[in-house]
Amino acid sequence: MPAGGVPLVEQVKSLQEELRHARKLSALGELVSTTTHEFNNVLTTIINYAKLGLRNKDTASRDKALDKILGAALRAEKITNSVLGMARSRGTDRAPTDLAKLVDQTLVLLEREMRKYRVQVEAQLEPSPPAFVCGNQIQQVLLNLMTNARQAMPQGGRMLIRVAPDPAAGTVDLMVRDTGSGIPAEKLPHIFDRFYTTKQGPDASGKGGTGVGLSMCREIIEQHQAKIRVESTVGVGTAFTLKLPVAKQEQPSATPVAKLGIAAAEPATPAH
């Protein structure tokens, strides 16, 4: 028994719990940063057009200013509703979750960032049954995958987010595909390793480079007894697919993720 009388296994469990808590704080901090940037953008629009309306006394200029202010205020309302939706699901319980709605909420939070970096986002949301997941945790994974995809396209590009059912597998699939630089075949087997990163450090937005993002994604997906797959070709792009369990009618409305077993992660494979 180690010094202090605490069994080694208990120390490991304690350290793992501290790491999970630190990751939650990191994810929350990134969400706050993203939301703050979005609100600053909205406020800048409102302030500038309010000044324009005050400077110009003609009806046309004032009507234009009011239209822009109203548009910005409606966008602020969408951002607020998205954040409140995330706040309501800060727990760790799994429940039937509409992945299409989750994608919409996430796109609202990242719209300004994608536009700034000239990334065109296409959402293909096919009619699908609810997934039995912790919505807050899957949204963390989606935010991470979308940020990674954006960073893989420094000169801009296209991002596809697709939600579709896979009846044969009993899953709802959530895919994020980019047209970025791709991941070399020799690096693919390591991308989910803790602290492994292909980035030099955080980019201009302050995101990336710590090597804990994909490791955290894998851990969350494993806790859901789900799978995460990756396909990548250098110079063509990368696609991550989450295969999430369908919510069955007999399932309870909420099941703690912490009580679930750990499933084997899907190995990384190059695209064909």
Q: How far is residue 263's CA from residue 39's CA, in Å, rounded to a whole number?
A: 39
Q: Are 214 and 159 in contact (CB under 8 A)?
A: no
pLDDT greater than 70 at residue 104: yes
- Beta carbons within 10 angstroms of residue 14's beta carbon: 11
What pLDDT, in 10s, does the model give residues 56-100? 888 888 888 898 898 888 878 777 776 666 555 555 678 999 999
Three-point CA angle 262, 138, 145, nearest 5° = 105
Superfamily of domain 91-259: Histidine kinase-like ATPase, C-terminal domain (3.30.565.10)
- pTM for the structure as a whole: 0.66
Give the type of residue at 248: K
What pLDDT is stored for residue 180 in this prediction? Answer: 94
Q: Which CATH class is domain 8-85?
A: mainly alpha
Residues of the chain with CATH 3.30.565.10: 91-259
Q: Are 142 and 106 in contact (CB under 8 A)?
A: yes
Tokens linked to 210? 């710590």
Ranking 50-54, 89-93, 121-125, 170-174 by mean pLDDT, the lowest is 89-93
What pLDDT, in 10s, does the model give residues 173-191? 999 999 999 999 888 888 8
Ranking 116-120, 134-138, 190-194 by mean pLDDT, the lowest is 190-194
Q: How far is residue 186's CA from residue 158's CA, in Å, rounded to a whole number?
A: 25
Residues of the chain with CATH 1.10.287: 8-85
